[in-house]
Amino acid sequence: MSQTARSRGLLAAVATLGVLATSACSYVVIGTPSLQGMPSQSVDDGTLQIVGSTDNPIDALSRNALADLETYWSQTFPDVYGEQFPPLAGGYFSVDPDDIDPAAYPEGIGCGTDPRDLENNAFYCSSQGVPNSDSISYDRAFLGELASQYGEVLPQLVMAHEFGHAVQGRVGYPRTSIATETQADCLAGAWTAWVADGNGEYSSVDTADLDQLLRGYFLLRDPVGTGSGEQQAHGSYFDRVSAFQEGFDDGATACRDRFGPDRVFTQGEFTSDADFASGGNAPFPDTEDILAASLPEFWDRAFTEVLDAQFTEPELQSTDGPPSCAPSDVALVYCPDGGDGSGLVAYDADFASAAYDLGDFALVTGVAIPYSLAARDQLDLSTDDTAALQSAVCLTGWYSAQVYNAQLTSVTISPGDLDESVQFLLEYGNDPDVLADVELTGFQLVDLFRAGFLNGAASCDVGV
């Protein structure tokens, strides 16, 4: 992120991103986190065979996910694509590259691949005329590492993503790599919602799983600065999370319809050596200057061009601890009675430094939330309940869309900035020491931000 001097019409950005329009959000409260280990109910190997599998918990989780994926797609495929779903002809393969019995894989794994070449990977093979085509192969040791960091839902996500490629293999792939990969994420999201609704016989997903799943996507993004047109591009953190949530919210039909050539991707290349060296991050003092300039610019134009009102800039202040007007000890606060009568948006200096460690736009995202509460206050809307916070996160997504589309004169986007928004919301968004009275999960917060980014003020409960 850096300062800039460009300006366009505010409403144009909403139209630009309209091809990604989605329902506002869904709120999932399913249960409590489950313990890792062998699932309590599992498909036996005779019912669904995975070549090379062991009694490893990862193989049990994978088998369970694959069984439920077969059920889901046998039910869903006819409704979405108008024909029956053909089962995978080549089956499934599990590998530990450090402990391979060659006799278990007489023709290799998917596409005839040497199982030793599967390290740290999983893939669907669609090639015809080669051994073990139309199959899914995975490194169970790698999936075990993912599960130890991000929970047992992540190996299930990998199965769902690869099964998404199997769906594409039957109906056709999008034209680019990044569209292909993110559409598979979308299809995985549609299945995950089905499981979250309690339809899976062997798989389960709870609230904590969903937050962990989104955190795990950070490992699966392309390196920051990768171009969206790269041959093996998979998408930025925001692109991949957004696609997954799109499928989760709107189902497989949305995945079918929204990944054509007009789809917008936020992943981008660094355009200068300086941006590459800094990772696209402005120095901390410059970031504070960008906050002070871009937030009032955005809201002045939003009020004038969209909300038909007049915006009065609140005081923005970095504090040593919470200001005296704060109702509780929180790092990010809006005080209606603070400042010079126009309200006070305050952020704790130590917390700002910690948030900046995630990236400059993480800090910007955090401060934009109480600033959005100031805007709501001037619209005579609530500022101190859950609905207000939902709206403020959504409005922060709207502001971020204007930054992304170069609509503001005071700031321009850098590759990875929107990834930092997702990181901030998952790391700090539901921490009561950061934002008061939080009753939302990280998954919900990211979904709200995404709705504002894609749909603008119409999704943010401000009377538009």
SS3 content of the chain, % helix, strand, coil (to 5): 50, 10, 40
Grade residue 224 by pLDDT with cuts at 50, 70 and 90: low
Q: In which order are the strands placed within the sheet that holds 332-335? A: 315-319, 344-348, 332-335
Asked whether the beta carbons of 134 and 90 are under 8 A apart, the reply is yes
The verdict on residue 82 lying in a domain is yes
Do residues 292 and 248 share a domain?
no
Q: Are residues 429 and 336 in the same domain?
A: yes
User: One-letter amino acid identity for 111?
Assistant: C
Which residue type occupies 163? F
Considering the domain architecture, whether residues 126 and 197 belong to the same structural domain is answered as yes
pLDDT in tens, 291-341: 999 999 999 999 999 999 999 999 999 999 878 887 778 999 999 988 777
Check residue 27 and give its pLDDT. 24
DSSP 224-252: TB--TTSTT----HHHHHHHHHHHHHH-H
Structure tokens at 260: 């054509």
| Residue 212 domain flag | no
Does residue 153 fall inside a structural domain? yes
What digits encode the pLDDT tens for the residues 337-377? 887 778 999 999 999 999 999 999 999 999 999 999 999 99
87 burial (CB, 10 Å; 0-12 / 13-18 / 19+) is exposed
Which pLDDT score, from 0 to 100, does residue 324 have? 81
pLDDT at 139 over 80: yes
Average model confidence (pLDDT) across the chain: 87
Clarify whether residues 300 and 153 are in a common domain: no
* Token pair belonging to 48: 């669904």
pLDDT at 5: 34
In a domain, residue 48? The reply is: yes
Find the domain containing 342 and state its range.
10-17+272-459
d(CA 170, CA 403): 39
Closest to 140 measured CA to CA, from 206, 234, 225, 53: 53
DSSP, collapsed to helix, strand or coil, labels residue 445 as helix
pLDDT at residue 118 tops 50: yes
Model confidence at 229, pLDDT cuts 50, 70, 90, reads: low
Say if 22 falls within a structural domain: no
Is 264 contained in some domain? no
Evaluate whether residue 72 is within a structural domain. yes
What's the full length of the chain, in residues?
Answer: 464
Is there a contact between 131 and 111 (Cβ–Cβ < 8 Å)? yes
Dig out the tokens for 175 from the structure: 């034209």
- Residue showing tokens 């392309």: 222
Q: Tell me which of 11-25, 241-255, 282-296, 385-399 is least confident.
A: 11-25
Instruction: Name the domain count of the chain.
Output: 2
Structure tokens at 67: 């069984």
Segment 254-267 shows an average pLDDT of 93
328 shares a domain with 183: no
CB 241 within 8 A of CB 424: no
Give how far Cα 100 sits from Cα of 106, 119, 123, 338, Å: 12, 12, 18, 66
In this structure, the answer to whether residues 343 and 447 fall within a common structural domain is: yes
Tokens 């993503």 locate to 161
For residues 190 and 301, state if they share a domain: no
Same domain, residue pair 450 and 307: yes
- Cα–Cα distance, 159 to 123 (Å, whole number): 9
284/407 same-domain check: yes
Whether residues 311 and 440 fall in one domain: yes
Q: What is the mean pLDDT of residues 123-138?
A: 94
**What span, in angstroms and rounded, lies between the C-alpha atoms of 415 and 95?**
35
Q: Could you tell me if 319 and 373 lie in one domain? A: yes
* Position 188 in a domain: yes
* Whether 243 and 322 share a structural domain: no
